[in-house]
A = this chain, B = another copy of it.
């Protein structure tokens, strides 16, 4: 009953096998091997244009270096109030940018509200030095609460961002989960919708640790080799990331893995919704499902070994929460098996019965 996070899984079989296969022999370090070079080519094909791609070890690194590339003195980045950048990276984006601020923007369901974003951008006269200056907008796809921006929504945010002369960054820790839900291509969900810089996550979807920082316009990435090395993110045996990503992209493995994770979330949602005391809080569009249930029930499930986390109740959702209920996040992954859903459902049934 592992629904704590998609990073509780290990690596997909194909990826583990690829690593084993590439472990022998000798080849240049620091990204200069043939395997590395071929991988860069594959990213060009994947995005249907020449991109600049940099491989790093963690999603926090990808996000932090993305913002470093947009840095300005006194700069701030507008992002959603609940963004991973703000809530879960221990100040890494601020640290790597030597003090850029993350300016929180409101919006329902984890998405930037366009009007609020406009107010945030218009708030400060760019020539009034005291306030600092905006340097980028960042959004998360899929969002932290399992929702997904449509390409039209992305384009609207991009148009607004670009009208202020700023680049738009996408934190794609769950890029694949969002993409397969929308049924679009990588190009369509990024530069064709106005995204300039992408954190392309592989770790949550079946890799050990494989993240790519992708600049749709390579001109913008001129200093990235130095920024990455200075950030201690240039691995020596880069083949180990390349080996993961080759397997990830081969035969559309990444698509299959993401579809599986999403379908498990859908199924879990349907099964849970059949209980009268559980409810899917809002439509799940990726692999993160949010449900309400009595706190007593949640406690019993956790006591029985189920793994999932409570979640802070968003202000706009609070009125919908029944007394005694809590909000919980359940995450599926490429490795989730139906049997685990069956176990959870059985545990709920058992817990819900009167203890006669």
Contacts and interface: CB of A to CB of B under 8 A. Distances in A.
A270 interface: no
A233 interface: yes
A223 B94 contact: no
Contact of A208 (B61, B74, B240): B240
A322 interface: no
A57 interface: yes
A76 interface: yes
A56 B148 CA distance: 33
A97 interface: yes
Interface in A28-62: 28-30, 56-61
A13 B23 contact: yes
Given A22-B10, A232-B60, A236-B7, A88 B131 contact: yes
A131 B236 CA distance: 15
Interface string A217-237: 000000101110111111111
A2 interface: yes
Contacts of A89: 130, 229-230, 232
B11 A240 contact: yes
Given A10-B237, A87-B131, A90-B129, A232 B98 contact: no
Contacts of A13: 23-24
Contact of A2 (B26, B64, B230, B240): B26
A310 interface: no
A6 to B, nearest CB: 9
A256 interface: no
B11 A230 contact: no
Contacts of A9: 25-26, 237
Interface stretch (A99-107, A138-146, A187-195): A99-107
A73 interface: yes
Nearest to A3: B26
A91 B76 contact: yes
Contacts of A11: 19, 23, 237, 240
Nearest to A16: B23
A329 to B, nearest CB: 14
A232 B233 contact: yes
A283 interface: no
Contacts of A90: 73-74, 129-132, 226, 229-230
Interface in A159-215: 203-204, 208-209
A4 interface: yes
> Which 8 interchain pairs have the tightest Cβ spacing?
A94-B99, A61-B232, A7-B236, A16-B23, A95-B99, A2-B26, A74-B90, A90-B229
22 contacts: A2-B26, A4-B29, A7-B29, A10-B237, A11-B237, A11-B240, A26-B307, A56-B232, A58-B235, A64-B232, A74-B90, A74-B91, A74-B226, A74-B227, A90-B230, A91-B230, A92-B231, A95-B230, A129-B225, A129-B229, A209-B235, A209-B236
Given A11-B19, A11-B23, 6 more contacts: A73-B91, A73-B226, A74-B227, A75-B91, A90-B129, A90-B130
